[in-house]
A = this chain, B = another copy of it.
């Protein structure tokens, strides 16, 4: 299954086309709505741009089941306030895609609300991922994420050797998914502190996958890490990904971090899982664990140095749009969705 996302923040709609969908699968539309609701802004810690985000399925579903032919869904944009952007459309926002996009698209890209670069494009991504997730669930695969770090506050990491499916499903119910509730409260305080200063804050999301079958993947450009990372960096704001122990491998010795293998109930398991469930580019049957870092939302209320592209001179930018001081709680389901699309792509790849 492949996906293609389209749309601009202030255009008529955003949407997605899914291709090579398995046929005859009864979609749980309520579950899709629940997942999309997790991403939707609801005021409070997030932007005051609130959208209904109801996907309209145009094709590929008949009598509640997938037909197997391309599935297109669109989500109307309703609550757009383009006037927020009109005054500043020649002033690219620092650390946004505005300037590089302006060069890439020869100035023809839709600048309103970030256009195609907007976080709004993650709505159809969650829709698509929620479908992939249902296919995976039928195969016994579950995906869940929590906020591992926000600002200076860290959550307890997953125990990589054992990530129960129930825990992953529980995390999906949380508006602010953490393993350590106290850390969660401290994170919220961190976000409010940033918000109160017209600032934003970054963080790390850790994602766990249970039940992914041993033997999926291959060495080289289509290894599990390559496919997952390709999908993760398609999520705006992601600037790094690591698997298992990740960057902590650098300071370690092989004898400390190699994952010993044992036979348990007739099955080969590892008694550690520093590799995050992937060895040689292939899933090895242990839980898949990876971390993605998201940079602080670049749209902040503080004045910033930028340039005026029409006059080609220095300028000051004050952003008046509606923005999240921290995107991470809404991003957890986006990361899970992108992971679902990546994992399903690999599982459905086929090779007789």
Where the two chains meet, the residues of A that have a C-beta atom closer than 8 Å to any C-beta of B are: 1, 4-8, 11-15, 17, 19-20, 22-25, 56-60, 62, 65-72, 74, 92, 94-101, 103-110, 115-117, 121, 135, 139, 149-152, 194, 197, 199-204, 214-221, 223, 225-227, 229-231, 233-234, 236, 238-247, 249-263, 266, 268, 270-271, 274-276, 278-285, 291, 293-300, 302, 304-307, 309, 312-314, 347-352
Closest 7 CB pairs of A and B: A350-B350, A97-B280, A240-B242, A24-B108, A100-B282, A260-B305, A103-B215
Q: Is the CB of B7 within 8 A of A104?
A: no
Measured CB to CB, the closest approach of chain B to A86, in angstroms, equals: 13
Residues of chain B within 8 A of A297, CB atoms compared: 254
> For residue A118, which residue of chain B has the nearest CB?
B219
Q: Is the CB of A280 within 8 A of B98?
A: yes
Using A6-B70, A103-B215 as known contacts, say yes or no to A279 and B347 having CB atoms under 8 A apart.
Answer: no
Complex CA gap A239/B251 in Å reads 13
Q: Is the CB of A96 within 8 A of B280?
A: yes
Complex CA gap A214/B99 in Å reads 9
Complex CA gap A109/B282 in Å reads 13
Using A96-B279, A135-B352 as known contacts, say yes or no to A262 and B307 having CB atoms under 8 A apart.
Answer: yes
Residues of chain B within 8 A of A94, CB atoms compared: 258-261, 270
Of B68, B221, B274, which is within 8 A of A104 by CB?
B68
Q: Is the CB of A99 within 8 A of B284?
A: yes
Residues of chain B within 8 A of A295, CB atoms compared: 245, 249, 252, 254, 257, 274-275
Using A100-B280, A280-B98 as known contacts, say yes or no to A203 and B261 having CB atoms under 8 A apart.
Answer: no
Measured CB to CB, the closest approach of chain B to A315, in angstroms, equals: 9
Q: Is the CB of A99 within 8 A of B69?
A: no
Residues of chain B within 8 A of A99, CB atoms compared: 261, 268, 279, 284
Q: Is the CB of B6 within 8 A of A258?
A: no
Using A280-B98, A281-B233 as known contacts, say yes or no to A202 and B249 having CB atoms under 8 A apart.
Answer: yes
Q: Is the CB of A117 within 8 A of B219?
A: yes
Complex CA gap A202/B38 in Å reads 38
Q: Is the CB of B281 within 8 A of A219?
A: no
Using A58-B15, A203-B250, A234-B223 as known contacts, say yes or no to A101 and B261 having CB atoms under 8 A apart.
Answer: no
Q: Is the CB of B313 within 8 A of A263?
A: yes
Q: Is the CB of B241 within 8 A of A229?
A: yes
Q: List 30 A-B contacts (CB under 8 A).
A: A4-B70, A5-B70, A6-B71, A7-B59, A8-B60, A11-B58, A13-B58, A22-B351, A23-B104, A24-B107, A62-B108, A62-B115, A95-B254, A95-B279, A100-B280, A104-B217, A200-B254, A202-B251, A223-B234, A225-B238, A229-B229, A239-B243, A239-B244, A240-B249, A242-B242, A252-B295, A254-B298, A262-B305, A263-B307, A350-B350
